[in-house]
Amino acid sequence: MSFVEYGDTIKNGDTAIVFLGHESMFPVKVQHGNVTQTKYGVIRHSTDLIGKKYGSKVTCSKGGWVFILHPTPELWTMNLPHRTQILYSTDISIITMMLELKPGSIVCESGTGSGSLSHALIRTVAPTGHLYTVEFHQQRAEKAREEFREHGVEHLVTVTNQDVCKNGFGVSNIADAVFLDIPSPWEAIGHAKSALKAEGGRICSFSPCIEQVQRTCLAMEEYGFTELNTLEILLRVYNVRTISLQIPDLGKAAEDNSSTGFDSSNPSNQGSPCANLQQGAVQFKSGVPLREMVGHTGYLTFATKSLF
């Protein structure tokens, strides 16, 4: 099993996603002899999981059933153990696009955190690219190394435990892009410039507060970065519903029905437009926004390393 290569069959040691519903799923490490408890009953790894195909419908001990899904960066973002605040797919998608990442790209990141963005970056730059990620906290760095190894992507990522603001990324003039998600990103702009290729590259800084953005932009200008651009991504979800609206009675519908001999009591006429008019309402499909939506997550500041 690998987060960057699809495997057809569930094997011992794999990380799989147990899908109970759109709002209910969780990761599980498949191991011989282990069992996993769900609200539908027990899942026995040896008999119910190992050897089955990903996407299989598995019946639990109480008669209910779940689906076993192959892990992806998107599913991992929704189900990972939170060691820090994480970035979600809405911000990750724009970061990947604006940093112009592709297979073969070299990316530097700080900090690693829970590894949500890291998995997406690794999948994007695979199979010939590489991610250099720096984490200040030793235990988080060790846990990230362990997860990358379990997920079959350790050959695509190098995890370093150090302070990026003081010691940088540990590489020079090789990165196509740099991403910063740290409390004081303006202190790491110089190291980011050193890590980027001499012929230029892109940088992104994620900050929840506008004061952080202001100081970071000043530092970027000081180090010669150009094309500064700050974005805030807000996702608004719509539901498609059937809407029923009353129509005004202007007297014309009743006159038309009487002149044409329309009989609204006839079952064959119940679904006709005239029947709807007779009832004084019309139905149609419409997009309705949810009453609640995810608000501010953070500001994304992008810039380009100048060639001069």
Helix (H) or strand (E) holding 180: strand 177-180
Q: Where are the alpha helices (DSSP H) in 111-251?
A: 116-125, 138-150, 164-167, 189-195, 210-222
Question: Is residue 58 helix, strand or coil?
Answer: strand
Is 135 annotated in some ligand binding site?
Answer: yes
Instruction: Please list, in sequence order, all residues whose beta carbon lies within 8 angstroms of the beta carbon of residue 44, skipping any fewer than 6 positions away.
Output: 35
**Lookup result for tokens 């990026």:** 164
Say if residues 114 and 86 touch (Cβ distance below 8 Å).
yes
Integer angstrom CA distances of residue 245 from 56, 68, 186, 285: 44, 43, 55, 11
Report which of 234, 190, 181, 235 is spatially closest to residue 212, judged by C-alpha positions: 181
Question: Is residue 239 helix, strand or coil?
Answer: strand
Cα 198 → chain centroid:
31
**Lookup result for tokens 């498949």:** 30
Give me 63's structure tokens.
Answer: 């008669």
Residue 151 DSSP code: T
CA-CA distance, 69 to 57, in Å (whole number)? 10
Q: Burial, 20: exposed, middle or buried (Cβ in 10 Å; 0-12, 13-18, 19+)?
A: middle
Is 181 annotated in some ligand binding site?
Answer: yes
Is 14 annotated in some ligand binding site?
Answer: no
Is 255 annotated in some ligand binding site?
Answer: no
Helix (H) or strand (E) holding 89: helix 89-98
Is 114 annotated in some ligand binding site?
Answer: yes
CA-CA distance, 212 to 287, in Å (whole number)? 37
Binding-site residues: 114-117, 135, 163, 181
Which residues carry a binding-site annotation for S-adenosyl-L-methionine? 114-117, 135, 163, 181
